[in-house]
């Protein structure tokens, strides 16, 4: 049966990834979406999730719900990042399987790989070395999620697929300076600095770490593609195959926003992992690649921010 006609539950449909996935599914003609806000269904609550699956019996589940945040949030709320994510994914994966779903997509993260993994990082480097301490709580939960997908496939033949997206950005992102990731944080900082006429913008860390950024509409397109074309045990990295230093990213965002002043690097703030570039060979060989170029993607996100997020 085609995915268009299936009952599809998108968990986390108000988040950055989940909302983009809903847009992509709707564009593909999926009219039978099941959506719940966190107020309607607390995915950490096992009994509530059990009742929900018994009532709605989705055929396909996209698990895009998670407690997420940038380097500071991760480091400050270790219990939330570890416990909440373990609860959410265990409840949703188990409920999906037991109530007859035929497929599940689990969204992980590129921070699951070791801090000093070879670059770019192939899926095979999972669990080959110590994690980056600033986000190990989140990473350990996501690694458990991958293993849970593999365990359900192995023990019960459940078609649970794990995707590992790189750092995402786009419309609907969190632009809060304390809890957000670097790209939305810098968009806000440059925007506000320009509006106030400041002479400098503060960038955390040394500016030398390198990160890869994927527009969330590309991620959503990859999800739709893999939903229809992949049934494997192995996780699949989802990225662009290109990275950029934080210093270069700050300069690019400054240009897009039109900020004329200087950058100041606050080295009392953590750098995190030195480099985080995914090896996307598996995804390319499955027939998918990213399309949204970084400058265009940031410019579009900046327009969204000025229209919606202030
Ligand atoms: P990470 O990819 O898990 O390390 O998470 P982030 O996106 O939060 O941070 C990426 C890098 O950007 C780190 O080296 C941060 O120190 C750096 N960075 C520079 N300025 C900022 C900022 O204003 N906010 C955040 N979150 N990170 C920043």
Q: What is the pLDDT of residues 88-118, one digit of tens each?
A: 999 999 999 999 999 999 999 999 999 999 9
Instruction: Give nearest CA residue, ligand 1 atom 12.
Output: 182
Q: Distance between alpha carbon 238 and the CA centroid of its chain, in Å?
A: 10
Instruction: State the distance from the centre of ligand 1 to the C-alpha of 182, rounded, in angstroms.
Output: 4
Average pLDDT, whole number, for the chain? 96
Q: What is the pLDDT of residues 285-297, one digit of tens each?
A: 999 999 999 999 9
pLDDT given for residue 70 in this prediction = 84
Read out DSSP for the chain? --GGGS-EEEETTTSHHHHHHHHHHHHTT---EE---TTT--TT-HHHHHHHHHHH--SEEEE-------HHHHHH-HHIIIIIHHHHHHHHHHHHHHTT-SEEEEE--GGGS-TT--SSB-GGGTTSSPPPGGGHHHHHHHHHHHHHHHHHHHHH---EEEEEE-EEESTT----TTTS-HHHHHHHHHHHHHHHT-SEEEEES-S--EE-EEEHHHHHHHHHHHHHH---SS-EEES-S--EEHHHHHHHHHHHHT--SEEEEETTS---SSEE-B--HHHHHHT------HHHHHHHHHHHHHHH--
Q: Which atom of ligand 1 is nearest to the CA of 69?
A: 8
Residue of 138, 152, 169, 230 with catalytic role: 138
Mean pLDDT score, 261-283: 96
- Span 142-163, average pLDDT: 98
The CA distance from 67 to 124, in Å, is 25
On the question of pLDDT at 1 being above 60, the answer is no
User: Which of 183, 171, 205 shows the shortest CA–CA distance to 257?
Assistant: 183
In angstroms, the CA 66 to CA 45 distance is: 14
Q: What digits encode the pLDDT tens for the residues 236-250?
A: 999 999 999 999 999
Cα 246-252-255 angle, rounded to 5 deg: 145
Domains, the chain, with CATH or none = 3-170+212-242+277-292 (3.40.50.720)
Residues forming beta bridges with residue 264, ordered by sequence position:
202
Identify the pLDDT of residue 258. Answer: 98
Query: What is the distance between the terminal CA atoms of the chain, rounded to a whole angstrom?
Result: 43
* 138 catalytic per annotation: yes
Distance 174 CA to ligand 1 centre (A): 13
pLDDT at 145: 98
Banded model confidence at residue 19, pLDDT cuts 50, 70, 90: very high
Residue 121 — φ and ψ, nearest 5°?
A: -95, 115
What is the structure's pLDDT at 310?
Answer: 60
Pocket test for ligand 1, best of 142, 272, 274 (most atoms within 8 A of CB): 272
Q: What percent of the chain has pLDDT over 90?
A: 93
Cα-to-centroid distance, 214 and ligand 1 (Å)? 15
Measured torsion, CA atoms of residues 272, 275, 281, 284, in degrees rounded to the nearest 10: 70
- Phi, psi (5° rounding) for residue 161? -110, 135
CA 212 to ligand 1 center in whole angstroms: 12
- Give residues (CB < 6 A) around ligand 1: 70-71, 111, 135, 167, 180-182, 185-186, 203-205, 209, 211, 246, 269-272
Mean pLDDT of 59-68: 97
Q: Looking at the predicted structure, is the pLDDT value of residue 21 above 90?
A: yes
The ligand 1 atom nearest the CA atom of 272: 4
> Which residue lies with its CA nearest to atom 4 of ligand 1?
272
């Amino acid at each position: 049966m085609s995915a268009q006609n299936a009952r599809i539950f998108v968990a986390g449909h108000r988040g950055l990834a989940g909302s983009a996935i809903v847009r992509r599914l709707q564009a593909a003609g999926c009219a039978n979406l099941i959506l719940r806000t966190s107020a309607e269904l607390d995915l950490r609550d096992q009994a509530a999730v059990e009742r929900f699956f018994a009532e709605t019996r989705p055929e396909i589940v996209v698990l895009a719900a998670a407690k997420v945040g940038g380097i500071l949030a991760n480091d400050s709320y270790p219990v939330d990042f570890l416990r909440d994510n373990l609860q959410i994914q265990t409840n949703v994966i188990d409920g999906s399987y037991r109530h007859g779903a035929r497929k599940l997509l689990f969204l992980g993260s590129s921070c699951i790989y070791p801090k000093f993994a070879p670059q770019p990082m192939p899926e095979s480097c999972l669990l080959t070395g110590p994690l980056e301490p600033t986000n190990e709580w989140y990473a350990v939960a996501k690694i458990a999620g991958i293993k849970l997908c593999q365990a359900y496939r192995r023990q019960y033949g459940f078609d649970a697929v794990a995707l590992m997206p790189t750092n995402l950005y786009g419309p609907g992102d969190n632009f809060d300076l304390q809890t957000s990731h670097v790209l939305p944080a810098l968009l806000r900082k440059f925007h506000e600095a320009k509006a106030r006429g400041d002479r400098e913008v503060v960038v955390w860390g040394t500016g030398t770490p390198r990160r890869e950024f994927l527009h969330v509409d590309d991620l959503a397109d990859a999800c739709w593609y893999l939903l229809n074309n992949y049934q494997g045990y192995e996780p699949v990295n989802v990225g662009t195959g290109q990275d950029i230093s934080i210093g270069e990213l700050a300069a690019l965002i400054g240009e897009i926003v039109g900020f004329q002043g200087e950058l100041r690097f606050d080295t009392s703030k953590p750098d995190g992992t030195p480099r985080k570039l995914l090896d996307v060979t598996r995804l390319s060989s499955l027939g998918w690649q990213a399309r949204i170029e970084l400058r265009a993607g940031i410019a579009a996100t900046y327009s969204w921010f000025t229209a919606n997020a202030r």
